[in-house]
């Protein structure tokens, strides 16, 4: 009887552990508590001599780098610091942690990544090395890796949350018009429909957050260069996002646009981030967009988030919208085959 009980208990724990691994970027479980802290906050655990020395200066410079595409400088991450003796059962629940240990027992500088050690979702970077000078040089060389690690962690967490909690009405409209799926926050629900264009907004009194999706026929790779992208964006926004008075419409501040290419699950993505402004008006703010190729329908699908919040800091808001862009699912070839079969 005891053997049977412990066998069942072991099976239950195994299933629970499996669910936890599947949702490790999502929220707490029975096995690990929910993490503390806000998105894009990083807690650094290091002795005062390290924090105030070469290594601390390097870490702060990395984390305090301004995020591109905002109207005012805002650091990529909010940073806090504690010493090792204060790293306990409460503080170790923090969502993003950098643990730094310096000593002769470490032959060379190293960075090790750990997930969900004390809470979930949680990302920990463990940095070790023989002395401050070598570790400082090493972390500086890994600036992009450190920034990307915590950024990717937060993007993945928020995007995974959106798979469960999103504006379903908006997603259904996106399916109907574009054959795609796009998960956006539930509070962004006011919609305006245009020609091959959807604009959704939280329509808030302050901190206005918006998502748009639109499509264009694919012509050539030049569509993904900065100048043609800005020209096409201006044409689309002028037609679909007017101001309060005639002659007012959204446009792109082309002096403050940055683009880069990368891939999501092997598919090409052009990211653009920068500043938008309302022509003949004083309104403006940051935007971020992803443009991807719908190979099934030979179109370019662009999804964009933009913010209007002159009275607030905007980093967290634009990052929240950016996470939604990563949920875009383009039509698959089998979807077209099903459509063609239904027409027969």
pLDDT digits (tens, 9 = 90+) for 320-337: 999 999 999 999 887 665
**Tokens representing residue 276 in the block:** 């938008």
Determine what percent of the chain is predicted with pLDDT higher than 90. 86
User: Per residue in 244-265, is it b (16+ CB within 10 Å) or e — as a string?
Assistant: eeeebbbbbeeebbebeeeeee
Nearest to 63 by CA among 74, 49, 48: 74
Q: Which residue do the tokens 């909690």 mark? A: 165
CB 97 within 8 Å of CB 82: no
Q: What residues contact 60, with CB distance under 8 A and at least 6 apart?
A: 79
CA distance 183 to 172: 10
Nearest to 330 by CA among 163, 168, 180: 180
Supply the pLDDT for residue 337.
55
Q: Which residue do the tokens 């920990």 mark? A: 124
Nearest to 27 by CA among 167, 164, 166: 164
Q: Alpha carbon 6 to chain centroid distance?
A: 42
Nearest to 308 by CA among 201, 235, 234: 201
201-252 pLDDT, tens per residue?
999 999 999 999 999 999 999 999 999 999 999 999 999 999 989 999 999 9
**CA dist list (Å): 178 to 194, 215, 271:** 12, 8, 20
**Tokens representing residue 208 in the block:** 């206005």
Supply the pLDDT for residue 1.
45
Q: Cβ–Cβ contacts within 10 Å for residue 241, how many?
A: 20
For residue 211, the SS3 value is strand
**CA dist list (Å): 136 to 31, 58, 141, 215, 332:** 36, 6, 9, 46, 46
CA distance 59 to 57: 6
Supply the pLDDT for residue 333.
81
158-199 pLDDT, tens per residue?
999 999 999 999 999 999 999 999 999 999 999 999 999 999
């Amino acid at each position: 009887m005891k053997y049977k009980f412990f066998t069942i208990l072991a099976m239950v724990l195994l299933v629970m552990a499996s669910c936890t691994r599947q949702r490790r970027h999502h929220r707490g479980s029975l096995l690990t508590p929910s993490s503390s802290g806000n998105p894009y906050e990083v807690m650094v655990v290091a002795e005062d001599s390290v924090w105030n020395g070469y290594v601390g200066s390097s870490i702060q410079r990395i984390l305090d780098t301004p995020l591109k595409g905002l109207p005012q400088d805002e650091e990529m991450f909010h940073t806090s610091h504690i010493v090792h003796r204060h790293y306990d059962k409460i503080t170790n629940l923090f969502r993003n942690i950098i643990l730094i240990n310096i000593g002769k027992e470490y032959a060379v500088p190293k960075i090790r990544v750990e997930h969900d050690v004390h809470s979930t979702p949680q990302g920990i970077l463990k940095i070790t090395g023989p002395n401050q000078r070598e570790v400082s040089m090493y972390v500086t060389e890994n600036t992009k890796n450190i920034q990307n690690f915590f950024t990717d962690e937060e993007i993945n967490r928020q995007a995974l949350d959106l798979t469960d909690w999103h504006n379903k009405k908006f997603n259904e409209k996106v399916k109907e018009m574009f054959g795609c799926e796009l998960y956006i926050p539930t509070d962004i629900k006011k919609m305006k429909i245009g020609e091959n264009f959807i604009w959704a907004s939280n329509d808030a009194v302050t901190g206005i957050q918006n998502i748009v999706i639109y499509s264009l026929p694919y012509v050539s790779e030049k569509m993904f260069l900065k100048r043609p992208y800005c020209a096409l964006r201006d044409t689309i926004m002028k037609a679909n996002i007017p101001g309060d008075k005639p002659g007012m419409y959204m446009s792109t501040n082309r002096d403050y646009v940055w683009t880069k290419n990368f891939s999501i699950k092997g598919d090409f993505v052009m990211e653009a981030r920068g500043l938008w402004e309302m022509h003949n008006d004083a309104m403006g703010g940051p935007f971020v967009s992803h443009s991807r190729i719908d190979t099934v329908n030979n179109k370019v699908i662009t999804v964009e988030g933009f913010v209007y919040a002159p009275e607030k800091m905007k980093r967290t808001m634009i990052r929240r919208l950016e996470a939604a862009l990563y949920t875009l699912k383009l039509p698959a070839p089998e979807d077209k085959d099903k459509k063609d079969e239904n027409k027969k």
